Amino acid sequence: MTKQTTPIPDLIADIGGTNARFALALPDGRIEAERILSGADYPDLMQAAGAYLSGVSGPRPRRAAVAVATAISGDWIQFTNSPWSFSTEAARRALGLDRLLILNDFTALALALPRLGADERRAVGGGTAIAHAPIALIGAGTGLGVSGLVWSGQNWLALETEGGHVTFAAADQREWAVSRILQQRFGHVSPERLLSGPGLVNLYSALAELEGWPAEPLAPADITDRGLTGACPHCLEVLELFCGALGTAAGNLAITLGARGGVYIGGGIVPRLGNFFDRSNFRGRFEAKGRFSDYLAAIPTWVITAANPALRGVAAALN
């Protein structure tokens, strides 16, 4: 009688500036036991991963892959928008793993793009993707992530970038005035200073200073909710500025990569905006590139609507 053995799953995780998403990846490609933990509830990756693993049954994983919202340049991982930090080797030993792979969170999301179904993305504007042409990815959440895919002739290669920290490019007088206020606060003004959760707050307070109205102590979710409902005209102005500036940033990325395979919009903010984003000036600003407007008009843009898609990319990277 042949004894059946339980397959050993891999631990996969997507760690952002706010939440830590964990799951198990099975040898047959299925992803199960997804769970979201608040990063604020744990001091580091080891404690959060340990808490997750204590709540799942079956054999303990021997391999793990973790996507992190920061640049990776060696063993030590220091998050950009979170107090978390850890040594990769120390984390591997602490979790009893044979292998621990660390990759950038938007590199992982880029690897997931070819695995999305047609019902897991929403088109904004026109354009037709060219097969095997470069694909661009940009997304606003706790920070601003940027990546892309390039076809090698056999498979897709993901780009590991920190494009959210380039210099912000203002496209009109109001954006220029806002960027000057933010420059006084931060010195260097990157797109992330505007196109992120904290960026919504920066935009709100900068507009208050610029236009002379009293700012309330609002969180990003407050600004989004009040803007979408029309309860706060200043919050609505913030959302309009956000969508336009994101369009310019996405257009810049598309031209830079030659992303005629399309541009994907990820992160947690844009999906929450729903039809407001579709009707905004995002697409107009995306295409507004003078002599290259026709070039950009032919490139499709999609909002990612899948739940936790980066986990698919994390599992793919491990294998």
- pLDDT of res. 101: 97
Q: How confident is the model at residue 7 (pLDDT cuts 50, 70, 90)?
A: confident
The domain spans of the chain are 10-110+310-318, 126-299
pLDDT reading at 6 higher than 80: no
Identity of residue 194: L
Q: 10-110+310-318: what fold?
A: Nucleotidyltransferase; domain 5 (3.30.420)
Cβ neighbours of residue 242 closer than 8 Å, sequence gap 6 or more: 140, 194, 195, 199, 200, 203, 269
Beta carbons within 8 Å of 77's beta carbon, 6+ residues apart: 45, 68, 70, 84, 85, 86, 87, 88, 102
126-299 has the same fold as 10-110+310-318: no
The helix or strand, by DSSP H or E, that contains position 275, with its residue range, turns out to be helix 275-279
Query: What is the arithmetic mean of pLDDT over 236-248?
Result: 98
Whether the per-residue pLDDT at 3 is higher than 60: the answer is no
Average pLDDT value over all residues in the chain: 95
Contact predicate 190/166, CB 8 Å: yes
Assess if CATH 3.20.20.100 describes domain 126-299. Answer: no
Query: Is the pLDDT assigned to residue 1 strictly greater than 50?
Result: no
What pLDDT digit, counting tens, does each position of 86-131 carry?
Answer: 999 999 999 999 999 999 999 999 999 999 999 999 999 999 999 9
Q: What is the pLDDT of residues 142-173, one digit of tens each?
A: 999 999 999 999 999 999 999 999 999 999 99
